[in-house]
Amino acid sequence: MRRSERYDGTVGRTGERGRMEDAMDGALEEYLERIAPADSGAMRAAEERHAQLTKPAGSLGVLEELSIRVAGMTGTQAVPAPAVVSVFAADHGVHAQNVSPWPQEVTAAMLANFAAGGAAVNAFAKNNGVDIRVVDVGVATPVDQLDIVHAKVRAGTRDLSQTGALTEDEARAAIAVGFDLADRLVQDGYRCLLTGDMGIANTTASAALIATFTGATADAVTGRGTGIDDAALAHKTGVVRGALALHAVPPTEPLKALQAYGGLEHAALAGYILGAAANRVPVILDGVIAGAAALVAQAFHSAVIDYCVAGHRSAEPGHAVALKQLGLQPLVDLDLRLGEGTGAVLAYPILTCAVRALAEMATFEDAGITS
């Protein structure tokens, strides 16, 4: 996929309307039918190989479990490379409730920064050999001039504290953006997908989604986001609490949860995660936004978590709650709360080291070592 591209949905239909019509024609349901659990036979083979490698059993700790899981995802013991991080960007109507001190225009400004190579995720990705795709799925400010993937469903969500953030058509369309991008990246040869995000006020929507799918309280999952003070945190928590009471979405209704709270990047990320699972490639999750999206994806299809790796644990309190619900152990814990995909990109070399050890270490027989 070219770095700059106008997304037009599936072949034969163009533009926003075509994208929504395709989404409503059962595309989501077709995607879900493609997802199967991890390959148990490949996992057994990986376990058996680990028992033969020149090391004490279990001495690589979490890396052994990780390499076995990746073998189950891909059906092989090959290193999943190359990798790409997709940064989905969108804005949120709840910004009007003063849940963030940053102006909404920062989202578009950061997209320009990504496109110019000046963000933290650019530096990390360059260091670790990871490609980047920046995707406008719902930025409020026009960004047509930027060298990015243009897939805008609408210019930001509605205010989740007052009404539903998205219509069903819009939520489905945003999911389709993520799933279709995953399909196309795999077709282009990528074998590991990483999540990234950008959107002022997106931690508010994340808190509402995490509370919905875990049963946690607003107080337990609402954090400081870009660094708000105690008074602002209390206000933000109250906004999340009120939205949960207003919409009262059960955890068995992921599409309705996206309609209630958004965001467009959450929906696209959920589709992207589902797309990784459908294509049997690992998806490394970033922070709290990705954690919320993974809960949505899990509610759509439980087997999707077989393909997820938690890149890191965010400093946002809701992320730990989400990871516990997902049953995922983070590879990195560095108090990060930047987003962008930084934690996922940092974790990618750990994943490749784990798989390379499985694939390339000598066995005791190879090394002529006998007990």
Q: What is the maximum span of the chain, computed from C-alpha positions, in angstroms?
A: 70
Strand (E) positions, the chain?
Answer: 5-6, 83-90, 130-138, 149-150, 192-198, 283-285, 308-310
The C-alpha atoms of residue 327 and residue 293 are separated, in whole angstroms, by 15
* Collapsed DSSP state (helix, strand, coil) of residue 363: strand
340 catalytically annotated: yes
Token pair recorded at residue 187:
């077709």
Query: Peptide bond preceding 271: is omega within 30 degrees of 0, i.e. cis?
Result: no
363: which strand partners? 53
Set 105, 168, 340, 360: catalytic member = 340
Q: Which residues contact 30 (CB under 8 A, 6 or more apart)?
A: none
The C-alpha atoms of residue 92 and residue 16 are separated, in whole angstroms, by 19
| 207, 295 contact by CB (below 8 A) | no
Nearest to 206 by CA among 311, 316, 48, 313: 316
Instruction: List, by residue number, the catalytic residues.
Output: 340
